[in-house]
Amino acid sequence: DAGITQSPRYKITETGRQVTLMCHQTWSHSYMFWYRQDLGHGLRLIYYSAAADITDKGEVPDGYVVSRSKTENFPLTLESATRSQTSVYFCASSGAGTGIYTFGSGTRLTVV
């Protein structure tokens, strides 16, 4: 399927568990981003990547790890989930030169 796909759509995990959110895009966009969306905070950037093997921290990187071994994939890992990481997570991609983001459908993560 063409586009940007996030999985899973919903996830419930326990405190302390490791969980990985997947993001896959089919456009070969160079830029990819992970955001979390919480009431009152809008969209906050966790990590972003300008190309394969190039990643950088955003506003709220603590507790998260990313990798980008292939252009099309940008997984986000919560190494030891905490209740404060309960949120909706959005992945986005952007082609070089456009600045226009295309978003995935989001992953609603609940940490209990």
Partner 1 sequence: AQKVTQAQTEISVVEKEDVTLDCVYETRDTTYYLFWYKQPPSGELVFLIRRNSFDEQNEISGRYSWNFQKSTSSFNFTITASQVVDSAVYFCALSNAGNNRKLIWGLGTSLAVNP
Which residues would be at the binding site for partner 1 (CB under 8 A)?
Answer: 31, 33, 40-43, 45, 48, 50, 56, 58, 88, 90, 92, 94, 96, 98-103, 105-106
The one-letter amino acid code at 15 reads: T
Q: What minimum distance in Å lies between the beta carbon of 18 and partner 1?
A: 25
6 φ/ψ angles, rounded to the nearest 5 degrees:
-110, 145
Q: What minimum distance in Å lies between the beta carbon of 38 and partner 1?
A: 11
Return the half-sphere exposure (C-beta side, CA atoms, 13 A cut-off) of residue 100.
2
Contacts of 3 (CB under 8 A, 6+ apart): 25, 26, 27, 102
Nearer to partner 1, 65 or 88 (CB): 88
Q: What minimum distance in Å lies between the beta carbon of 56 and partner 1?
A: 7
